Chain A
């Protein structure tokens, strides 16, 4: 069964079409990446899945159910713009939000304390939200999203604003939940996270789907056409317009998209002739980042 099935959904605000004839299938148990530039329609799409907005046309099914009061309890949500009641105590906020998702208040309180323990926030449970740092508040919000053990978890930029330790903690919990069968939709701009964590993706641009499917097969379809070079010294030797379609410099590392049929050995030879020290020379599938840029700028034209 599909965790989420979106069929022909269109949503317009006044004259702006935010989401246009959109179709999407997120299979149960997937860790799904929803990608797109700012204003592409990601948030509008997610809001329709959560019944915060009503589509003009089309329909949305959650685990086979049409949207309704019951489907809202199946979803846990971490919005991108975060905030909680500043004057309420941590435990009270979590109990309230958990109860709103269908837990009894006693159960919500019990689970809240358990999660606070797990997130190393137990001693803050009786403090007010405004006493907490931004990072801590974000962890509280994450708890609010997972408290009722939703079979579908929607996370909008879950790592933004977290230090590496806390980001790793959230990531471990996500992988743990996924291992227990939770379907996770991850909406983000951070391609390297998607690349590492997600098994399938959808790329939205200007309210339309431009790419979707299994991440591995998407990348495979591009083939190993990218040459990654790590070197010391000047990169002036990398001038092969007849071989290279585009270059992407990341400081000491350079990704070169090769033209069809180009021979990478020519580049290696040129480097050796000039006495450049090469520490890495590898043919790889294109990074998701490059695919993203190509797709988004390509459809603009």
Chain B
């Protein structure tokens, strides 16, 4: 239909030309690419430097063990830390003297930090770590561990036990995670979950943002009364279709640019990084093409499902404020999907996860999440897609009936019973 095409074209062009769209569609993925590039660059160019530390020991019996514990922490082939000075402080004035000296050294950059173990440490007094950069979480953790171990060793040895032999017994076994897949095995370093969550959030955001955009578009035409001119020219149902498809195509354009960028970064990014900076540790991510096809299919189903409901709300109310209020339950219904993210991540094949990926109001987002985590059987994917497509068909039909009447009605918001009557109008 030519008139549907005209409406489609107007909606699409008006939106695609806005600065907001251009920014979010092109600048955001460019920033993402930049982040990946910078990470890879930094990871391969990081200069390894041993941090210089000092210890003031009020107990007089821990500093050696702490120094040993810290220097065992390796960074590549080099020790991460070196304890340059160990001083014991028998009384408060000595403690103050060393503290002042080390503070000056920290300020002059000769030391990265120093640890003060108070005399009453074994009675529960807290040690203090002085540093210019207190944001180094790894260092704080290392000090904590070295302190614990030094304390434990001292106490055990005081009872005539050999700490080293006990420690080797208690040492936690490091675990490497390998994802088992039909195509082979692959080390898991969080990339599968990262990708799955990213895909799910992109899908959720696109459906949400463009659903709301549809509602605003309907509301704008109604409150400016342009809609009267429009429906004197074409059928309300055709107007709605043109609008849904136009706004949806804008969302699809954005999704395609994002997924396309992500896909290229994933496929070529690692190879490119390897060429530029050999030895970088970018994880291997897989984004099968079949998944992309299903993402598009579920986006279309989910977008039309929600956008047609948003359009019905836009047609039903008389002001933007009112539409936001009435749309709240729908926002919550859609927002329920990301809320349930944690359950599905923990066990993508639990009955909760399967149910979420079958219920049409959450399935577009949750089936994609499950597919990215652990490919479910094909019949489940197809069943889920059929359910959501059928539901969407019904909802679009209902919404169109409401829309058709609503756009010409002003004043009081209709009750549910009136809505039912609108649906039945000839």
User: When the two chains form the complex, which single residue of A47, A54, A83 contacts B224, counting CB atoms closer than 8 Å?
Assistant: A83
> Inside 8 A of B6's CB, which chain A residues have their CB?
96, 99-100
- CB of B408 within 8 A of CB of A53, answer yes
Which A residues between 53 and 96 are near B, CB-CB below 8 angstroms? 53-54, 56, 69, 72-73, 75, 77, 79, 81-88, 96
> Inside 8 A of A53's CB, which chain B residues have their CB?
408
Decide yes or no: A83 and B233 within 8 Å by CB, A52-B408, A100-B3 being known contacts.
no
| A97: min CB distance to chain B, Å | 6
Decide yes or no: A81 and B233 within 8 Å by CB, A52-B408, A53-B408, A56-B426 being known contacts.
no
- Is A14's beta carbon under 8 Å from chain B? yes
> Inside 8 A of A84's CB, which chain B residues have their CB?
224, 226
- CB of A77 within 8 A of CB of B426, answer no
Decide yes or no: A144 and B235 within 8 Å by CB, A86-B224, A87-B14 being known contacts.
no
User: When the two chains form the complex, which single residue of B225, B236, B426 contacts A83, counting CB atoms closer than 8 Å?
Assistant: B225
- CB of A72 within 8 A of CB of B229, answer no
- CB of A101 within 8 A of CB of B233, answer yes
- Is A203's beta carbon under 8 Å from chain B? no
In the bound complex, how far is the Cα of B232 from the Cα of A287, in angstroms?
34
- CB of B225 within 8 A of CB of A79, answer yes
Q: Write the chain A residue with the least CB distance to B224.
A: A83
- CB of A100 within 8 A of CB of B233, answer yes
Which B residues between 195 and 242 are near A, CB-CB below 8 angstroms? 220-221, 223-226, 228-236
In the bound complex, how far is the Cα of B421 from the Cα of A47, in angstroms?
20
> Total A-B pairs in contact (CB under 8 Å)?
61
- CB of A72 within 8 A of CB of B426, answer no
- Is A50's beta carbon under 8 Å from chain B? yes
In the bound complex, how far is the Cα of B221 from the Cα of A97, in angstroms?
13
- CB of B426 within 8 A of CB of A81, answer no
User: When the two chains form the complex, which single residue of A52, A81, A82 contacts B232, counting CB atoms closer than 8 Å?
Assistant: A52
> Inside 8 A of A96's CB, which chain B residues have their CB?
6, 10
> Inside 8 A of B224's CB, which chain A residues have their CB?
83-86
> Inside 8 A of B230's CB, which chain A residues have their CB?
100
- CB of A81 within 8 A of CB of B14, answer no
> Inside 8 A of B10's CB, which chain A residues have their CB?
96
- CB of B234 within 8 A of CB of A88, answer no
| A116: min CB distance to chain B, Å | 18
In the bound complex, how far is the Cα of B239 from the Cα of A100, in angstroms?
11
Q: Write the chain A residue with the least CB distance to B239.
A: A100
- CB of A54 within 8 A of CB of B14, answer no
In the bound complex, how far is the Cα of B231 from the Cα of A51, in angstroms?
8
> Inside 8 A of A100's CB, which chain B residues have their CB?
3, 6-7, 230, 233-234
User: Chain B CB within 10 Å — which of A81, A83, A99 has the most?
Assistant: A83
Decide yes or no: A79 and B228 within 8 Å by CB, A54-B426, A100-B3 being known contacts.
yes
Q: Write the chain A residue with the least CB distance to B1.
A: A69
| A5: min CB distance to chain B, Å | 19
- CB of A97 within 8 A of CB of B233, answer yes
| A261: min CB distance to chain B, Å | 51
In the bound complex, how far is the Cα of B231 from the Cα of A75, in angstroms?
12
Decide yes or no: A72 and B232 within 8 Å by CB, A88-B14, A100-B6 being known contacts.
yes
Q: Write the chain B residue with the least CB distance to A144.
A: B229
In the bound complex, how far is the Cα of B9 from the Cα of A88, in angstroms?
14
Which A residues between 76 and 128 are near B, CB-CB below 8 angstroms? 77, 79, 81-88, 96-97, 99-101
- CB of A81 within 8 A of CB of B228, answer yes
> Inside 8 A of B236's CB, which chain A residues have their CB?
52
In the bound complex, how far is the Cα of B232 from the Cα of A100, in angstroms?
10
> Inside 8 A of A86's CB, which chain B residues have their CB?
224
Which A residues between 156 and 195 are near B, CB-CB below 8 angstroms? none
- CB of B226 within 8 A of CB of A85, answer yes
- CB of A69 within 8 A of CB of B235, answer yes
Q: What are 16 of the A-B contact pairs (CB < 8 Å)? A: A14-B421, A52-B228, A69-B234, A69-B235, A72-B232, A73-B233, A75-B232, A77-B228, A82-B225, A83-B224, A83-B225, A85-B226, A88-B14, A96-B10, A99-B6, A101-B233
Q: A50-B232, A79-B229 are in contact. List 18 more A-B contacts (CB 8 A).
A: A47-B408, A51-B232, A51-B235, A52-B236, A53-B408, A54-B426, A56-B426, A75-B232, A79-B228, A83-B223, A83-B226, A85-B221, A87-B14, A96-B10, A100-B6, A100-B233, A100-B234, A101-B233
Interface residues of A (CB under 8 A from B): 14, 47, 50-54, 56, 69, 72-73, 75, 77, 79, 81-88, 96-97, 99-101, 141, 144
Interface residues of B (CB under 8 A from A): 3, 6-7, 10, 14, 220-221, 223-226, 228-236, 408, 418, 421, 425-426
10 closest cross-chain pairs (CB), A and B: A83-B224, A83-B225, A100-B233, A79-B228, A81-B225, A77-B232, A50-B232, A52-B231, A54-B426, A99-B6
